[in-house]
């Protein structure tokens, strides 16, 4: 690192930290991204999230980079792990014991699996009438696709996202990250808290949340169907351009970087054109209005792109920032790791880690002024909290018996 490279703030875990959801127990049987992101939101605000993992562990643990489970470490901080053979009838009894005193249960099995294990919503709600049950699946608990595997890739294609992503003369482009799962996890966290509020309030009872991966990403694609019905035209793939406003694109700088620029209002377009020394373009009928600019985007982009290409990244940012124009750098991981804003805003922090020394991860999102998120513990080792969680629920003698029988592992 150079002297002007900011250092990420180093923070230690504090097991005594308490958040706004302190006292809320969440039994988490989910796997991979959507469920784990959902419960991460809750854990970051103090909920006791108990991961019930099979002997091989949550499949998220297997996503390793250079032999290290970075996804597990970052998405499962603040959680606890119990390792249990869920295929055994006695393991299923343990789930019922834990669900009986929990506030929430999250699962992401294919529809019908919970019922086959004797853990149907009806059975769980009979044990605990105020239990909030979140069921994450690819296509929902009902309908003709309920039997299909639930992978984010499928819903990213089915929702209409891939069809509008990329360039028109090339193949549709799927997102290079877990977009479908992430939208479901974030939608699910808010929906779970709505259901919890209802259970604790006048409604007074638990309920089942049918959370498909499809619906959240389909919802954020609004208003694609309304626009289609109005126009009869399919939204084209336009790369980084917008079909609503112009100019808007990614432009290459003199030193090989990229900047992104958006002028979604007439006032911002006026600032932009003045800043590049071309204010007269607003008097040109090709560029005078947004509708005209959308029709003539190529020639306008050539003008803007030419200006940007003559300057380095730093020169462009300084120039346009001084003019109040909405422009910014297109960042990658190496740039983000040493970025002043990211460090000073604590969007990234570093925490102690046995394998990496210091592990970079995201800070709290969102930030609450009165009840901020917590950093209580690192992502758990498999079965790390067996005794802490199961001894009070089962008793030491029963726990020892189940451990000897291979129902509890670790």
User: Would residue 80 be called left, alpha or beta, if left means φ above 0 and alpha means ψ between -120 and 50 degrees?
Assistant: beta
Q: Which entry of 28, 44, 58, 181 is annotated as an active-site residue?
A: 181
181 classed as catalytic: yes
Instruction: Find the Cα–Cα–Cα–Cα dihedral 373, 376, 381, 382, rounded to 10°.
Output: -60
Output the CA–CA distances (angstroms, integers) from residue 326 to 248, 319, 355, 371, in the order listed.
Answer: 10, 11, 41, 33
The residues carrying an active-site annotation are 181
């Amino acid at each position: 690192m150079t002297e002007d490279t900011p250092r990420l703030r180093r923070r230690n875990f504090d097991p005594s930290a308490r958040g706004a959801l302190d006292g809320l127990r969440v039994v988490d049987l989910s796997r991979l991204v959507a469920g784990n992101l959902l419960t991460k939101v809750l854990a970051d605000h103090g909920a006791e999230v108990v991961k019930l993992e099979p002997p091989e562990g949550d499949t998220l643990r297997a996503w390793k980079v250079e032999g290290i489970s970075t996804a597990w470490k970052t998405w499962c901080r603040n959680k606890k792990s119990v390792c249990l053979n869920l295929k055994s009838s006695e393991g299923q009894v343990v789930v019922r014991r834990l669900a009986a005193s929990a506030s929430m249960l999250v699962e992401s099995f294919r529809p019908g699996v919970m019922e086959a294990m004797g853990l149907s919503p009806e059975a769980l709600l009979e044990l605990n009438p105020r239990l909030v049950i979140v069921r994450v699946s690819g296509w929902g608990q009902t309908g003709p696709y309920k039997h299909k595997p639930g992978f984010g890739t499928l819903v990213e294609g089915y929702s209409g996202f891939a069809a509008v992503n990329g360039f028109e003369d090339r193949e549709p482009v799927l997102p290079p990250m877990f977009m479908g799962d992430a939208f479901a996890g974030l939608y699910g966290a808010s929906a779970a808290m709505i259901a919890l509020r209802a259970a604790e309030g006048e409604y007074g009872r638990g309920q089942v949340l049918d959370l498909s991966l499809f619906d959240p990403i389909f919802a954020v694609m609004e208003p694609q169907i309304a626009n289609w019905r109005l126009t009869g035209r399919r939204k084209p793939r336009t790369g980084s351009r917008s079909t609503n406003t112009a100019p808007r694109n990614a432009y290459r700088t003199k030193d090989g970087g990229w900047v992104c620029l958006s002028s979604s209002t007439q006032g911002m377009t006026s600032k932009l054109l003045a800043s590049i020394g071309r204010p007269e373009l607003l008097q040109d009928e090709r560029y005078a209005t947004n509708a005209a600019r959308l029709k003539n985007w190529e020639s306008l982009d050539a003008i803007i792109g030419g200006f940007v290409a003559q300057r380095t990244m730093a020169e462009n940012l300084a120039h346009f920032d001084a003019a109040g124009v909405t422009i910014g750098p297109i960042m990658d991981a190496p740039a983000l790791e040493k970025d002043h804003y990211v460090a000073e805003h604590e969007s990234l922090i570093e925490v102690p880690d046995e394998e990496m020394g210091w592990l970079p991860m995201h800070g709290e999102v969102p930030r609450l002024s009165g009840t901020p998120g917590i950093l209580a513990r690192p992502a758990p080792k498999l079965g790390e909290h067996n005794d802490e969680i199961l001894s009070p629920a089962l008793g030491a003698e029963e726990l020892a018996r189940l451990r000897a029988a291979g129902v509890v592992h670790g």
